[in-house]
Amino acid sequence: MTKPPLSILLCAPRGFCAGVDRAIQIVDLALERYGAPVYVRHEIVHNKYVVEELRRKGAVFVEELDEIPDTGQPVIFSAHGVAKSVPAAARARNLFHLDATCPLVTKVHREAEVHHRRGRHVILIGHAGHPEVIGTMGQLPEGAVTLVETLDDVATLDLPADAPLAFTTQTTLSVDDTAAIVAALTARFPGITAPHKEDICYATTNRQESVKAVAPQVDALLVVGAPNSSNSQRLREVAAREGCERAFLIQRASEIDWEAVGTIETLGLTAGASAPEVLVEEVIDAFAERYDVTVTSVRTADETIAFNLPRELRQPAA
């Protein structure tokens, strides 16, 4: 039987960013150098496939340090960053810990500290409960940071008009939504100090720009990523906002809702920054079983950024 034609527009860049790649490397190298088990506080990145692959190799994932026995084995902090209390607790127990925090998240942490030292109250634009937000707020004393999620939050901020203020942002937000919140903040508080360089990371921005280029051209668009991945959720929202009504977030090919996707001639496909390329290929294969597929890459940026590994993993093994 002849399969109907389907043109897949493959967004580029997509998938792993430098921070995610570094975090996964840290777990892999720690397992290679120190053997199993290697303990990881929180999911190293927000992707079930990645977590399960690392678990299979000997990584043990926990939510809190008190779940880890007294051990000389490595304890790794996730790419999202942690509050200052976490490494302090690890040191108190003499746990050998490695920090896989994305350097771009660490930049936000340092910015917040500088603002606090200079007497500014910090407004953090982000999503309540996200590990990155918890980590950033945990860099400063309680009450030193106010979280803003929406434009309504800006309107109801109860801060003196002449209070010294600064803002920072979660690195994985919608570029457009954040721009609107920043505009509202600066309108209410004209003297507010902005980051030296935008906090939303290059990978988040690039993946959203690629989706913006593809979404108006396709009948449906799939984002491969985890439901608890902020940057993946934002990609789905961006696609819908750009006119693609059938935009869906899936973890892998088995989650494709063929009825919801419906009859299509063109499909957009991308992946969040913590989704491996093997899952994108799996989705293409699933469509190739039903359609005569042509794949075209739509590249809107080149990425060459790479981050150094922690010093302990750069040194030759003893």
Q: What is the mean pLDDT of the chain?
A: 95
In the predicted model, what is the mean pLDDT of residues 38-45?
Answer: 95
| C-beta separation of 108 from 145 below 8 A | no
Annotate the chain with DSSP letters as a single string: -PPPEEEEEEEES-S--HHHHHHHHHHHHHHHHH-S-EEEES-SSS-HHHHHHHHHHTEEEESSGGGSPS-SS-EEE-TT---THHHHHHHHTT--EEE---HHHHHHHHHHHHHHHTTPEEEEES-TT-HHHHHHHTTS-TTSEEEE-SHHHHHT----TTS-EEEEE-TTS-HHHHHHHHHHHHHH-TTPBPPSS-SS-HHHHHHHHHHHHHGGG-SEEEEES-TT-HHHHHHHHHHHHTT-S-EEEESSGGG--HHHH-S-SEEEEEE-TT--HHHHHHHHHHHHTTSEEEEEEEE--------PPPHHHHSPP-
pLDDT above 70: percentage of residues in the chain: 99
84-119 residue pLDDT tens: 999 999 999 999 999 999 999 999 999 999 999 999
Give me the catalytic one of 43, 111, 132, 237: 132
215-237 residue pLDDT tens: 999 999 999 999 999 999 999 99
161-200 residue pLDDT tens: 788 999 999 999 999 999 999 999 999 999 999 998 888 8
Residue 271 has pLDDT above 60, yes or no: yes
Q: Domains plus CATH for the chain?
A: 5-16+202-299 (3.40.1010.20), 18-102 (3.40.50.11270), 104-188 (3.40.1010.20)
Whole-number pLDDT of residue 316: 64
Angle, CA of 112, 24 and 298, to the nearest 5°: 85
235-256 residue pLDDT tens: 999 999 999 999 999 999 999 9
CA distances from residue 303 to 18, 211, 222, 229, 288 in whole angstroms, order as listed: 9, 16, 22, 21, 28
- Strand partners for 271: 224
Residue 239: which residues within 8 A CB-CB, separation 6 or more?
A: 211, 214, 215, 221, 223, 247, 268
Tell me if residue 132 is catalytic. yes
Whole-number pLDDT of residue 160: 82
Q: Tokens in use for 107?
A: 């930049």
73 φ/ψ sector (left φ>0, alpha ψ -120 to 50, else beta): beta
274-307 residue pLDDT tens: 999 999 999 999 999 999 999 999 999 999 999 9
In the predicted model, what is the mean pLDDT of residues 149-166?
Answer: 92
- C-alpha to C-alpha distance for 228 and 130, rounded to whole angstroms: 9
- C-alpha to C-alpha distance for 37 and 44, rounded to whole angstroms: 15
- C-alpha to C-alpha distance for 301 and 140, rounded to whole angstroms: 35
In the predicted model, what is the mean pLDDT of residues 146-170?
Answer: 93
Task: Provide the pLDDT confidence category of residue 317 given band limits of 50, 70 and 90.
Answer: low
